[in-house]
Structure 1
Amino acid sequence: MLEHRTSNLTGLLLPLADRNLILPNVAVAELIDYQPGAFDLDSPAWYLGQVTWRERQIPLLSFEAACGNKTVIGDRARIVVLNALGGRPHLKFIALLVQGIPRSYKLDSQLSYVDVPLCSLEHAAVQVAEHVAKVPDLLALEELLVGAGLVREGSQAPSGASPLFPS
């Protein structure tokens, strides 16, 4: 008798102003209170400046603005600190503006994909309980920072792995 095995992981649903993102919980280093970042007026709209986390300065981004929408800083705004994946020595963490406290969900490799419009920073959309959640392209977020000259270029991690379930 063959046994069907599925891969499971814990995902975090990140509430944004205009969408939800889903990430493996290991991608998130910490959730912190909102703090305004220090930035230049010449900065791209999606770049909200540098914020202090654990005695280091890390870049704060608005995912909505990076996708061409407005940045919203609501009453429940928080910052999610993400582990950077690109292997750049000068970019170990990225801060992402969220609108509330992320919720934990058990995910398996049999996620239902949803056919909705995606921005260039999104790999896919999936159904997570009653929510449609977008799978963000974290390496593309890092590339935004590098391309805008906000982070020095460094070595990169290999590509090709699934964003939620590596090969």
Structure 2
Amino acid sequence: MSHAVASRNDTSSLSGLLLPLADRTLLLPNVAVAELIAYQTPQEIAHAPDWLLGRIIWRDLSLPLVSFEAASNGQVQVGEQARVAILNAIGGQPQVKFIAVLVQGIPRAMKVDRTLPSAPGLLAPLELAAVQAGEDVAKIPDLVALEHLLSGVRL
């Protein structure tokens, strides 16, 4: 087997995206992110929890806009470089097909393989793991738990 064929069939790595938030960086597989769009002021949802910022329109769909930081014991922050990452829902909740997540800047691509070292430190709610991503620590979010959290809110 040639080296070119071996590297093309190598399944030990995948493409990831580092999503910058106000107080942490999330690491997601590329396939989890449908699109990155400009920030838009959300339409308010009555009696919504603080982490649910409202609804935005994306491709003729009305999506919940979430502050991941606030949902995992942090603070809502909309900075000058605020954008929205549209995430593909994976948890099988019938009313949650996509989730809009507030991000603070442009995501960076990263190759992720099995040798990515775990990082020390405490995990916040909705975080599965912390990994050393170059010089940064990145958190791997629990997207299924986030979807369950959303499914419990009247949208």
> Unaligned 5+ residue runs, structure 2?
1-5
Q: Look up the match of 1:58.
A: 63
The structure with more helix, counted as a fraction of residues: 2
Q: Which of 142, 146, 150 is matched with 2:151 structurally?
A: 146
One-letter identity of the residue aligned with 1:138: L
Q: Look up the match of 1:40.
A: 45
Residues 100-127 of structure 1, C-alpha deviations (whole Å, 9 max, x = no match): 0000001102210011111120000001
Which residues of 2 match residues 1-167 of structure 1 at below 5 A?
A: 7-150=12-155
Q: TM-score, normalised by structure 1?
A: 0.84
Q: TM-score, normalised by structure 2?
A: 0.90
Aligned residues: 147
Residues 41-94 of structure 1, C-alpha deviations (whole Å, 9 max, x = no match): 521000011110001101110001001221000000000000000123322100
Q: Look up the match of 2:3.
A: none
**Deviation above 6 Å: which 4+ runs of structure 1?**
none
Distance 1:91 1:68 in 2: 22
Identical pairs, percent: 56
